[in-house]
Amino acid sequence: MSLLTVICYPDPRLYKVAKPVAQVDARIKKIVIDMAQTMYDAPGVGLAATQVDIHEQIIVIDVSDNQNELMVFINPELVWASPEKKSWREGCLSVPEYYDDVDRPAVVRVKALDEHGREFEVEADGLLAVCLQHEMDHLKGKVFVEYLSMLKRNRISLKMKKRAKERIDNF
């Protein structure tokens, strides 16, 4: 296992669209393990491969209280979304220390492959539904701050750039 580096907004690599995984093999399984370790270490409840500069359709999620129920979604596909919306306060490992409310469908159904290449489907609500939509956005090259006003986005972008510069200056 090894920790991966999480890319921070507004890095242009976050806007790259992920390609489908052709085959779930040992390489993909290692990526899943490394992503899970990175997510748990952060700590976070979800991580998309795009966030660690791997541009393949892989997501790891664990919304359990004890962080012991890892879910893996390879080539996830949104099958259905409820017309009812719900607002959740979202955060992102790629936008550290920033949280804001985002409206999303309250319930979703997603089809994907697991870490063994087996197809499954899950219907989710609550935090899992939010997390799935948030991470699937990453695979499409979209960061949650894009749901916010231009003013908020610009403010976040400036803060993140300043923070990155401070890290470099202090290095």
Active site residue 135: yes
Nearest C-alpha neighbor of 84 from the set 108, 101, 109, 106: 106
Q: Tell me which of 69, 115, 135, 146 is the catalytic residue.
A: 135
Give first-to-last CA distance, the chain, whole Å. 26
Residues flagged as binding site for Fe cation: 92, 134, 138
Provide the token pair at 38. Answer: 């990175």
Residue 11 is classified by DSSP as: -
Residues flagged as binding site: 92, 134, 138
Kindly write down the DSSP assignment for every residue of 104-144, as one continuous string.
EESEEEEEEE-TTS-EEEEEEEHHHHHHHHHHHHHHTT--G
The secondary structure of the chain in percent helix, strand, coil, rounded to multiples of 5, reads 35, 30, 35
Provide the token pair at 56. Answer: 């393949």
Query: Residues with catalytic annotation?
Result: 135
